Chains A and B, each alone.
Chain A
Amino acid sequence: MSAIALRRRTLPGFGLTMGLTLTWLSVIILIPLAGLFLKSLELSPEQFWAILSSRRTLNALRVSFGLAFAAACVNLVMGSIIVWALVRYRFPGRRIFDAIVDVPFALPTAVAGVALSSLFAEKGWLGAPLAALGIKVAFTPVGIFVAMIFIGIPFVVRTVQPVLQDLDPEIEEAAGSLGASRWQTIVRVILPSLAPALLTGLALAFARAVGEYGSIIFIAGNLPNVSEIAPLLIVIRLSEFRYADATAIAVVMLVVSFVIIFAVNRLQRWAQDRIPMH
């Protein structure tokens, strides 16, 4: 008793906050996920396999993960450029542009979906000129791609922005005075310094795009095997009362997402270890 009393913590409240943390994480995240796995156990391995290997499921997963990854990559590139402009230059309206980045965060996804689909519809402002060029966006996989870019961009910008702000411009001057060209400075000095943040941004934008539902279903056209995303297939299976099918797809999405996030996390840890922050 006295030994414990002597080793009193300088920061009290560990027991209480830790207990609340565990309870809360269990109730909000772990129990629902466990429920999902339990539900999928109602299926025999053969049934499970049959659902997953059906053409429609595979195509839905391919559309979701493939396009989400492509959209995240586009966001990585464009987001980095936006961050660069916002952080490194002072121009009129900078704060407004900075605020605009957050719009996809704040907008209800259904509103975004309606706006995007009317914009890119064949008679829409952007859809009409694109249609004249022979490019159809709305109600095709391209539409899904556009919606995924839309909802993912703030994740890249907001994760990379603070890191770039902390990056001392002196290291660019140092690179320049050592004879590096602008391009060499970007590739050899700036990008490697931003790598952990860029990877985090990529992972977040990707995860968001994989899970996105609201904005996509309006613009996708939802043609099975072509422009049907996995979350929509889950909803369809649910509405058909095929709960086990729905959970099987959900479990696969969960596992794949988890593996990807975990891999990115390792990659990020590796990059971070090489740049210990002090």
Chain B
Amino acid sequence: MTIEVKNLVKKFGSFKALDGVDLKVDDGELLALLGPSGSGKTTLLRIIAGLDWPDSGEVSFNGEDALAQGARERHVGFVFQHYALFRHMSVFENVAFGLRVQPRAVRKDEATIRARVKELLDLVQLDWLADRYPSQLSGGQRQRIALARALAIEPRILLLDEPFGALDAKVRKELRKWLRSLHHEINVTSIFVTHDQEEALEVANRVVVMDKGRIEQIGSPDDVYETPATAFVHGFIGESIELPVHVEGDVVRLGDRPLALKAEGLASGASKLFVRRHDMLVGPPGSGAFEGAVQHVRNFGPVQRAEVALSGGQTIEIDAPRDRELRAGDTVGLAPRRFRIFAG
């Protein structure tokens, strides 16, 4: 099933949740909508599911107008952030719900329903919990049951709203891997919303980065990490050092100091310089574009994270390998291995 969204606009009062969003999702993709809270990602997901309606724009599934149908007719599996399990029903009945409410003409007989639920519980590896109630399950188990319930209706599309948002870090990591392999197995076009970049980069085939109701970049996890399209994406994904600079011709200035950086093909004016923390190479004073004094050093496994006060007055954090120990008080030169400059 392909999904196409055209020029979607949605306002809540004066707040623009979606401000002209275009998106194409290919059949069998596992797509991540990534953005900070308030970026419109959940609103977009809910509109695709039929739980919300846009003010204008189009949504189509396989070229068919989806907005003409309600949530009930769209055959979309939706997994809620807080699971939304029916707490008065056993796990088994929760998963069976979508099968039991089918119109009588197409409803399967009890034996078929039981077999199907059993199959789904096996798929999410929780068949031993069939008789429990949702309140007796852990968060990770609830999430997997919610997923099994959504899959019961054999959805054309699977939508997951912050599927791991309410879980602790360890369970979250396990479920990520599990979700990816599950998607591989069932191969349903899937979209999940997350504010966790690591989750998006690790799980998805393609990542859509959103901010303020607009799409900033669509690309593979490598694309959005290695070649961010906008200042927002660079700042949001990966840990970046951001410095306000001024571009004049091919000279880049930080404050009034020209930096030894090549700036070609950039518009003159106030700009932002982005460098990944680990792309700042540490050398002796005078060896790089920047110079500064080390303030604090903390060790994180293979890297040391140093807070460096630049001679221009700004303080930045860098991640350096542990081969050369840094100490507070050292004066160092810093050379960015890679950097990006965005106007604005």
Q: Which residues from A are CB-within-8-Å of B135?
A: 275-278
Interface residues of B in 35-91 (CB under 8 A from A): 49-51, 70-72, 74-78, 80, 82, 84-89
B contact residues around A174 at 8 Å (CB): 78, 80, 84-86, 149
* Whole-angstrom distance between the Cβ of A217 and the nearest chain B Cβ: 42
Total residues of chain A contacting the partner, CB 8 A: 23
A152-194 with Cβ < 8 A to chain B: 168, 170-171, 173-181, 184, 188-189, 192-193
Task: Indicate whether A274 reaches chain B with its CB closer than 8 angstroms.
Answer: yes
Decide: B133 and A276 in contact? CB cutoff 8 A: yes
By the criterion CB–CB under 8 Å, are B82 and A177 in contact?
A: no
Given contacts A177-B78, A184-B101, contact A171 B72 (CB under 8 A): no
Interface: B310 (CB within 8 A): no
Contact B72 A195 (CB under 8 A): no
Residues on A with beta carbons closer than 8 Å to the beta carbon of B150 = 177-178
Contacting B84 at CB < 8 Å: which of A168, A179, A184, A275? A168
A171, A174, A175, A193: most-surrounded residue (chain B CB, <10 A): A174
B87 and A193 contacting across the interface, CB-CB below 8 Å: yes
Residues A178 and B152 in contact, CB atoms below 8 Å apart: yes
How many chain B residues touch the partner (CB < 8 A)?
31
Q: How far is the CA of A275 from the CA of B87 in the complex (A)?
A: 6
Interface centre among B50, B71, B101 (most CB of A within 10 A): B101
Bound Cα distance from A54 to B136, whole angstroms: 54
Rounded to whole angstroms, the CA-CA distance of A188 and B49 in the bound complex is 22
B102 CB-CB contact with A under 8 Å: yes
CA distance in complex: A175, B100 (Å)? 11
Does B20 reach chain A (CB closer than 8 Å)?
no
Q: How far is the CA of A184 from the CA of B98 in the complex (A)?
A: 11
How many Å lie between the Cα of A189 and that of B98 in the bound state?
Answer: 12
Q: Is the CB of A173 within 8 A of B71?
A: yes
Known: A180-B72, A274-B133, A276-B133. A171 touches B101 (CB 8 A): no
Cβ B133 vs Cβ A177 within 8 A: no
Closest to B77 in A: A177
On whether the beta carbons of B78 and A173 are closer than 8 Å, the reply is yes
Closest to B76 in A: A177
B88 in complex: contacting residue of A173, A179, A180, A274, CB < 8 Å: A274
B342 on interface, CB distance cutoff 8 Å:
no
B129 nearest CB across to chain A (Å): 15
Which residues of the other chain, A, contact B88 by a CB distance below 8 angstroms? 192-193, 195, 274-275
Within the complex, what minimum Cβ distance (angstroms) separates B70 from chain A?
A: 8
Check A179–B72 contact: CB distance below 8 A.
yes
Chain A residue nearest to B97 (CB atoms) is A178
The answer to the question of B254 belonging to the interface, with a C-beta cut-off of 8 Å to chain A, is: no
Main secondary structure of the interface of A (DSSP, over half): helix
Q: CA–CA, A170 to B87, complex, Å? A: 12
With A178-B149, A278-B135 in contact, do A173 and B98 touch (Cβ < 8 Å)? no
**Are B80 and A178 touching (Cβ within 8 A)?**
no
Chain B residues within an 8 Å CB radius of A277:
135
Instruction: Kindly state the separation between the CA atoms of A188 and B77 in the bound complex, as whole angstroms.
Output: 19
- Contact A179 B153, beta carbon cutoff 8 Å: yes
**B72–A177 contact, CB under 8 A?**
yes
Max chain B C-beta neighbours (<10 A), residue from A181, A189, A195, A277? A189
**Docked-complex contact B49 and A177, CB < 8 angstroms:** yes
A173 to B: closest C-beta gap in Å: 5
Bound-state Cα–Cα, A278 to B134, Å: 10
CA distance A176 to B78 in the complex (A): 10
Q: Is the CB of A188 within 8 A of B133?
A: no
B153, A178: Cβ atoms closer than 8 Å: yes
Question: What's the Cα separation between A207 and B294 when bound, in Å?
Answer: 77
Task: Determine which of B72, B85, B97, B136 lies in contact with A188 in the assembled complex, contact meaning CB atoms within 8 Å.
Answer: B97
A interface footprint on B124-163 (CB within 8 Å = 1, 0 otherwise): 0000000001011000000000000110110000000000
Q: How far is the CB of A163 from the nearest CB of chain B, in Å?
A: 12
Other-chain contact of A178, B51, B101, B133 (Cβ < 8 Å) = B101
Q: Which residues on B sit within 8 Å (CB–CB) of A171?
A: 84-86
In the complex, what's the smallest C-beta–C-beta distance from A258 to chain B, in angstroms? 28
- A274–B135 Cα distance when bound, in Å, is 10
Q: Which residue of A lies closest to B79 (CB)?
A: A174
Q: How far is the CB of B104 from chain A (nearest CB, A)?
A: 12
- Known A193-B87, A193-B88, A195-B88: A179·B101 in contact at CB below 8 Å: yes
- B168, chain A: closest CB distance, angstroms: 17
B72, B74, B78, B133, most chain A CB atoms within 10 A: B72
Contact B86 A173 (CB under 8 A): no
- Kindly list chain B residues whose C-beta atoms are within 8 Å of the C-beta of A193: 86-88
Minimum CB–CB distance from A175 to chain B (whole Å) comes to 7
Contact with B along A233-250 (1 / 0, CB 8 A): 000000000000000000
Known contacts A174-B84, A178-B152, A181-B72; A188/B101 CB under 8 A:
yes
Given A178-B97, A180-B98, 5 extra CB contacts under 8 A: A170-B82, A176-B72, A178-B150, A189-B86, A275-B88
What 9 pairs between A and B have smallest CB-CB spacing?
A: A178-B98, A174-B84, A170-B84, A180-B101, A278-B135, A276-B135, A192-B88, A177-B78, A275-B88
Of the A-B pairs whose beta carbons lie under 8 Å apart in the complex, a sample of 9, sorted by A's number, is A174-B78, A177-B72, A178-B153, A179-B72, A179-B153, A189-B86, A195-B88, A274-B133, A276-B136
